Amino acid sequence: MSATATHNETHPQKSGAPAAPISKKEVEVTVAAAQEIAKQRQKRGTPNARIRVGVRGGGCTGFTYVFEWADEPKPTDSIFSASTPEGENVGIVVDPKSLVYLGGMSLDFVKGMMGHGFKFNNPNAKGACGCGESVQF
**DSSP label at residue 5:** P
In angstroms, rounded to a whole number, what is the distance separating the alpha carbons of residues 1 and 122?
22
Handedness of CA 117, 15, 33, 124 (dihedral sign): positive
User: All domains of the chain, ordered by start, with CATH?
Assistant: 6-15+22-136 (2.60.300.12)
Is pTM beyond 0.85? Reply is no
Report the Cα–Cα distance between both ends of the chain, in Å, rounded.
23
The Cα 114–Cα 19 span in angstroms is: 25
Q: Give the chain's mean pLDDT.
A: 82
What is the model's pLDDT at position 104? 93
C-alpha–C-alpha distance, residues 6 and 4, integer Å: 6
Q: Where are the beta strands (DSSP E) in 46-88?
A: 50-57, 63-70, 78-83
Across the 137 residues of the chain, what is the mean pLDDT of every consecutive 10-residue run?
35 50 87 96 93 87 87 94 93 95 93 88 79 70
pLDDT tens, 44-80? 999 889 999 999 987 777 788 889 999 999 999 999 9
